[in-house]
Amino acid sequence: MLEKTITSPRGTVHYWIARHRDPQAICLVFTHGLTANHLMFDHQVSYFRKHYTVISWDLPLHGASRPYVDFSFHHAAADLDAILHQENIPTTVLIGQSLGGYACQQYALDFPEKVLAFVGVDTSPFGLSYYSPTDRFWVRQVEWMSRCYPHDKLVTAIAKGATHSKRGFDNMMTMLAPYGKAELCRIMGIAYASFLRENRDTAFYFPVLLTLGEYDKTGKVPQYNWAWAAKTGYPLKIIPAAGHNANVDNPVVFNAMVGDFLDGLT
């Protein structure tokens, strides 16, 4: 993977690309979740680069893409579009885990003609009807509640809560390591506030696959996914022996499911 950057007045965003030898190969863009980074998709990059051009990136505010000012999902979508423009990639398949799924959906809203398909990985839908006033209330409490924990306990709780396997836990702990407590809590506060502000009703006209870890217990993510699938008709596939970071906990099954979905696009 070749590391590259794009820069805006908001900050410098880092991404990694492996180009397939076929210039017509479909491009897959992998977008990680909250407080993680591009390392979340190592098992997917090594698997899918054999048949696709693959890009993974550190979302603004995360990993190498910090410092960053004026975060929003709209700005994240603009940054991703700048990456694709720089690489002369006209269309892409978006694969987003958790918060990364929000960024993917925003990109699809802002640049619908450039999206071939979307794979949601333990993410949640854009759409006002899914979230009750109580849901929105608790999302607003995440930052200050997180500040109540000692840093080591907070990091361990995040990693344990997001994963079901030792592989997943170790991966999440590695991704959390660069953040101090104040920065970690602030990232969570900014990201969730952006979601509450930018969430709106959507309608996508490209193929969508939803995936959910069998043991995902992050908030109401499972309930949101079942409601999302029921309302839209999108297929929802359960990843066995996996938690919220399902693609890391069980990459073999996840990769196979996504591979079958991608085969159906051609």
Q: In whole numbers, what is the pLDDT of the chain averaged over residues?
A: 95
Instruction: Assess whether pLDDT exceeds 80 at residue 144.
Output: no
Instruction: Assess whether pLDDT exceeds 90 at residue 141.
Output: no
Residue 60 near residue 13 (C-beta atoms within 8 A): yes
pLDDT for res 148: 82
| Phi, psi for 261 (deg, rounded to 5) | -65, -45
Q: Which of 200, 236, 205, 202 is nearest to 221 (CA)?
A: 236
Q: What is the pLDDT of residues 225-259, one digit of tens each?
A: 999 999 999 999 999 999 999 999 999 999 999 99
| Phi, psi for 172 (deg, rounded to 5) | -70, -40
pLDDT for res 142: 78
pLDDT for res 122: 98
Sign of the four-CA dihedral 34, 80, 103, 266: negative
Q: Specify the CATH number of the domain 2-263.
A: 3.40.50.1820
Give domain limits for the chain: 2-263
Q: What is the pLDDT of residues 10-37, one digit of tens each?
A: 999 999 999 999 999 999 999 999 999 9
pLDDT for res 112: 96
Instruction: Assess whether pLDDT exceeds 80 at residue 138.
Output: no
The helix (H) or strand (E) run that includes residue 27 is strand 27-31
pLDDT for res 146: 86
